[in-house]
Amino acid sequence: MSRLHIVKLTCPHCQAENKSAVWDSINAQLNPQAKEQLLEGKINILTCSRCGVSSPIDAPLLYHDMEKEFGVEYYPFKSINDDNFLAGFNADGSLKPDDKLPIDVKQHYLFQPHYVFSMDELVRYILFRDKLAE
Ligand SMILES: [Zn+2]
């Protein structure tokens, strides 16, 4: 599963209304092209149709790789001030298990993603995991 939506965004540079593609998850096997763009820093970037300035779109993004069996999830750093976000974690930084899920599903890599708070770190973590699998 990969998910892409089109959303209306205001350019932070000139305040023009734009429509832009926003990914909230990328599957390495199903969307190799989106993976390439992500590694080139071209995912979740608003390029303004009026002034042409590119700005990052601060949206959460889950990347997952079914072959290497890992997930890494970016959250905007401001999320650490959001009590609802924090409520999903244990004190050691692990994700709180969803009691509705069976134990073998809870242990699945997709339910234990590596969390990062910058898009650069997301890309670096993917490169790190890809290197380990070479
Ligand atoms: Zn603009």
Q: Cα separation of 11 and 55, whole Å?
A: 8
Give me the residues of the chain with pLDDT under 50, please: none
Q: What is the reported pLDDT for 52?
A: 97
Write the DSSP string, 64-75: EETTTTEEEEE-
Q: Whole-prediction pTM value?
A: 0.87
Residue span of the structural domain in which 102 resides: 3-132
Q: What is the reported pLDDT for 101?
A: 67
Ligand 1 centroid from CA 47, angstroms: 8
Q: What is the reported pLDDT for 96?
A: 83
Ligand 1 centroid from CA 115, angstroms: 31
Domain count of the chain? 1
Q: What is the reported pLDDT for 103?
A: 67
Ligand 1 centroid from CA 49, angstroms: 7
Ligand 1 centroid from CA 113, angstroms: 34
